[in-house]
Each structure stands twice: as structure tokens, then as C-alpha cells.
Amino acid sequence: MKEGSNEPLSNSKEMPEGYFKELKRQELRKAELASLLDEALKEEARNTDTGPETDSGPETEIVFEAGCGHGHWLTSYATKEPEVCCVGIDLIASRITKANHKKEKRSLAKLHFLKAELNEFLEVLPEHIKFKSVIFLFPDPWPKARHHKNRMIQFPLLKLLAQKMAPNGKLYFRTDDQAYYDWTIEHLGASEAWTIDNQTAWIHEEATYFQNLMDSYYSVIAQPMTLNG
């Protein structure tokens, strides 16, 4: 492929071997994650008979935290709302282990923690699982301009999340980084999928380890403009 060309490579042998190895690892991760997610949520699907039917089962609503860390906030929420199905994901296995210890200690059957990358999680999420709430608590701000592409809040993600929201679903975002807050406000404002909600209160206040370290923070709540479109 010529430099600057958008044409696909005509010969797969031109791709580095590491590329195909990573694709294989990714597929294995997603298969394992899909199995774990199915095991965690199958009881929810079985007990849900009020939501509209989809190809993969009756619609089930969950509260979802992306980047749950040690699970402190989501465990607190699940303790307050034990009948709500909650799922938290994080990339660091040791964090998920600690989060699951919190869950088991409190016998919270509807709380689930999984090691997963956000986009891979969304790829394998069954169609019938819808987000009642999506929470981003103090995600990495990636402050350097060349790293902004690594920020969680991006237009493709916002579009995908909007498609997976339940009716009246909300997105909750909180950061101590002014620049990341401004970035998120700008992306939500420019997105055709979301509108900022200035009326809804924060879903649940429970100071996390990171929040306790901070003098101030910024929060925004948004709702999808269209559902499943």
C-alpha cells in the first residue's frame, strides 16, 4: 500500500505477523468475555419478562460503570439498590479481583465485575442488554494533545452507547480535569446522539479513593436524543 493511500492491502502477506497474532488474541478475549458476560447475566434475562423482545431475548436493563477500579462506587450503589443489575469493567485484573471480594463480602447477587476493554465489551454485549445508566468516574484524562485519541469519550463511542441505552437512560461523567470536562461537554454538544441534561441529579454520591484526593471536580449528565437508531 502506498503512503497516504486508503486502499486496502491486496496481499495479506504484506501485513506483519504480529498483526494477525493480535487479531487472534483479540478474538479469544472477546469469546471468553462473551461467555463470562452470558454467565453473569443469564439469570437476569431469565427473570425479565416485561421488556420488549429482541432476537437475543427479553430486554434487560443494567447500570454500567466503565473503568470501575476496585469497585468501591458500584458496590456502594448496588448495596443501596440490590434489585438493580450492575456491571463494572476494568482493564486491570487485580482491581477486578478486589471488586469481586467486595461483592462477595456483601452477597450482592446482581452485581458483576469483569476484566474487559470497553470497546470489546460493547462488541460482545447481547442485543437485549440495555443501559439504564452509564457511569464514567474520573477516567484517565490523557492530558497531552497527542494522547487525546486515547480518551474514552469519542464520537464513535457516544454513538454506540446511544444505540444501547434503555428508554430514559442517562450517561454520567465526572472528572477532576477541567480540560477533559470541556472536551466531554464539546463532544456531547456536537454529537447528534446526545443532549446534555441539566435537570437530573447525580445517580449516587459515594466518594471514591480518587475523589477524596481532589479539591474539586466537574460533572455532566446526558441523555440520548434517539434510541436504538
Q: Would 4 be classed as within a structural domain?
A: no
Identify whether 128 is part of a domain.
yes
pLDDT digits 0-9 by tens, 106-145: 999 999 999 999 999 999 999 999 999 999 999 999 999 9
pLDDT per position as a tens digit, 139-185: 999 999 999 999 999 999 999 999 999 999 999 999 999 999 999 99
CATH number for the domain including 168? 3.40.50.150
Query: Which spans in the chain are helix H?
Result: 17-47, 72-80, 93-106, 118-124, 155-163, 178-190, 209-212
Q: How far is CA 91 from CA 97, 111, 120, 147, in A?
A: 11, 18, 11, 18
Kindly state whether residue 173 falls inside one of the protein's structural domains: yes
Residue 157 lies in a domain: yes
Considering the domain boundaries, does residue 73 fall inside one?
yes
Report the catalytic residues.
140
In a domain, 101, yes or no: yes
**Would residue 191 count as lying in a domain?**
yes
Which range of residues forms the domain containing residue 217? 15-224
Q: How many distinct structural domains can be found in the chain?
A: 1
